[in-house]
């Protein structure tokens, strides 16, 4: 783990926030090292006889990982070099292209420290998924579930990490019929490449249940789903031609320009192509 501090935004910060949340600190699990993370890490350092400087270096990482040594750490679930090589052969892509996309789009590990796949629940998608199943979402709107059911996109309800599963379960249990759980699972993005559940059947899974089960297995399955998604949405040609802007637009949406996904992909490709 590299040294990180206030103002840093990276996959290491996401993991740090996961560990802090597991220790009971009120941080949002994201890749942003903000004021709440800074306050939490200084308190952790104070309580663990470390230098209180807000800098997460070797000693602070070691203390955090020691306290969480029972957390998920098995390499059997993680993506390997061979997985990427096999993927590049299967889809006739340069290995450097595959590694570039993996670096930029996967945003770190596809699993939480507790061993469950990383998810992000979307309340506005849940609204649409209920409607798709002939369930009127307005009949279920109240003050207690405003964080899981809303008509328009609103990022303020994101909490990240394991807490996203609490939102998912709350949505799944909104009604007794299995349609509610199916709608909830379809309303979350899953794993290393954060592919939405509603894509499961269109890209080739028998059901949303099969997709969720596969996402729980390992990052190799996450990569397989990514390949299925690329193939179904005709995105392989854009990667073969290294049209980073076109790929970023279709995979990330118009916001790719703000986040400079195309530039990040190009830089990562140049790095790996050497």
Note the pLDDT tens digit of each residue in 199-217: 999 999 999 999 999 999 9
> Does the pLDDT of residue 72 top 60, yes or no?
no
Integer Cα distance of 197 and 182 in angstroms: 9
> Does the pLDDT of residue 147 top 60, yes or no?
yes
pLDDT of residue 10: 84
pLDDT of residue 155: 85
Q: Tokens representing 218?
A: 């390992």
| pLDDT category of residue 113 using cuts at 50, 70 and 90 | confident
pLDDT of residue 254: 85
> Does the pLDDT of residue 11 top 60, yes or no?
yes
Residue 195 host element (H or E): strand 195-196
pLDDT of residue 75: 64
pLDDT of residue 258: 85
Integer Cα distance of 146 and 196 in angstroms: 21
> Does the pLDDT of residue 119 top 70, yes or no?
yes
pLDDT of residue 189: 94
Q: Tokens representing 189?
A: 């993005």
Distance of CA 205 to the CA centre of its chain: 20
> Does the pLDDT of residue 108 top 90, yes or no?
no
pLDDT of residue 171: 97
Residue 99 contacts residue 82 (beta carbons within 8 Å): no
**Pairing state of beta strands 188-190 and 195-196?**
antiparallel
The pLDDT tens digits for 27-63 are 998 889 999 999 999 999 999 999 999 999 999 999 9
Highest mean pLDDT among 105-109, 156-160, 265-269: 265-269
> Does the pLDDT of residue 170 top 60, yes or no?
yes
Task: Record the pTM.
Answer: 0.80
| pLDDT category of residue 152 using cuts at 50, 70 and 90 | very high
| pLDDT category of residue 71 using cuts at 50, 70 and 90 | low
Residue 55 contacts residue 65 (beta carbons within 8 Å): no
pLDDT of residue 109: 80
Residue 120 contacts residue 194 (beta carbons within 8 Å): yes
SS3 content of the chain, % helix, strand, coil (to 5): 60, 5, 35
> Does the pLDDT of residue 77 top 90, yes or no?
no
Task: State the average pLDDT for the chain.
Answer: 92
11-67: CATH homologous superfamily? PGBD-like superfamily/PGBD (1.10.101.10)
> Does the pLDDT of residue 177 top 90, yes or no?
yes
């Amino acid at each position: 783990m590299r040294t990180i501090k206030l103002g840093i935004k990276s996959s290491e910060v996401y993991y740090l926030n996961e560990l802090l949340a597991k220790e009971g600190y009120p941080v949002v699990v994201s890749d942003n090292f903000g004021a709440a993370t800074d306050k939490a890490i200084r308190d952790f350092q104070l309580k663990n006889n470390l230098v209180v400087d807000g800098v997460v270096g070797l000693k602070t990482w070691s203390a955090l990982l020691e306290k969480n040594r029972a957390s998920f750490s098995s390499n059997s679930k993680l993506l390997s070099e061979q997985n990427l090589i096999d993927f590049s052969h299967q889809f006739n892509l340069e290995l450097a292209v595959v590694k570039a996309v993996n670096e930029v789009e996967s945003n770190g590990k596809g699993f939480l420290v507790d061993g469950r796949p990383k998810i992000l629940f979307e309340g506005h998608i849940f609204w649409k998924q209920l409607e798709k199943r002939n369930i009127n979402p307005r009949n279920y709107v109240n003050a207690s579930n405003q964080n899981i059911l809303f008509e328009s996109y609103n990022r303020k309800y994101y909490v990240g990490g394991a807490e996203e599963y609490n939102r998912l379960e709350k949505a799944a249990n909104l009604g007794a019929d299995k349609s509610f759980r199916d709608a909830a699972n379809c309303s979350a993005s899953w794993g290393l490449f954060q592919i939405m559940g509603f894509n499961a059947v269109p890209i080739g899974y028998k059901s949303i249940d099969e997709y969720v089960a596969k996402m729980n297995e390992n990052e190799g399955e996450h990569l397989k789903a990514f390949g299925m998604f690329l193939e179904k949405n005709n995105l392989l040609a854009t990667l073969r031609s290294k049209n980073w802007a076109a790929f970023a637009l279709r995979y990330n949406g118009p916001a790719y320009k703000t986040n400079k996904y195309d530039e990040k992909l190009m830089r990562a490709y140049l790095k790996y192509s050497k």
